[in-house]
Amino acid sequence: MSAHFSDPRENVLQLGLHEGMKVGDFGAGSGHYARAAAAIVGQGGRVYAIDVQEDVLKHLKLNTHEMHQGIIETVWGDIEKPGGTHLRDQSLDAVILANTLFQIENRSGFLEETKRVLKRDGKLMLVDWAGSYGGMGPSPEKVVSEHAAEEFFINGGFHKVKSFRAGPHHYGILFTAP
């Protein structure tokens, strides 16, 4: 794990997951967070790794240890539109949104979909770039500040539980669903 990046295993602990839980990794990308969550929820749990890029999901599948293969389910879906994740209403205990918020164009669609799939008081963990860091992170105009992110979710009905340091270049915020 490069020193530049946050450690998914450390950050996932903020969610307080336990055996048997169902978790959505929205915009799963390379799957570091999905794998970290799978290690905690175990065989009785499920992690839905959702991404709009099919090739990313194939790569994620190939790089998942067989121990976690039955736990992680890759879903080709769109987290930005209602129904886009193909998950059932109120089916998830937690949603992970890591390094993805800055890429989301239809934020209201994303908010609606996240609320739809989370159980009452389900948790949402947001981890994102605190800056561009000379091009290591997103381009400066794409960066979503911690304050702006917090405001967005609170205005969307989520309740802030806490903020945490998610690595040298990332912030983390934990919310509960309305």
CATH code for the domain defined by 8-176:
3.40.50.150
Report the amino acid identity of residue 128.
Answer: D
Burial per residue of 107-135, b for 16 or more beta-carbon CB atoms within 10 angstroms, e otherwise: eebbbbbbbbbbeeebbbbbbbbbebeee
Instruction: Identify any residues that bridge with 15 across adjacent strands, giving them in sequence order.
Output: none
For the beta carbon of residue 11, count every other beta carbon within 10 angstroms.
Answer: 23
Are 88 and 24 within 8 A, CB to CB? no
Are 72 and 31 within 8 A, CB to CB? yes
**Given this model, what pLDDT does residue 3 score?**
46
**Given this model, what pLDDT does residue 5 score?**
67
Does 4 have pLDDT greater than 60?
no
- What pTM was computed for the model? 0.95
**Given this model, what pLDDT does residue 18 score?**
96
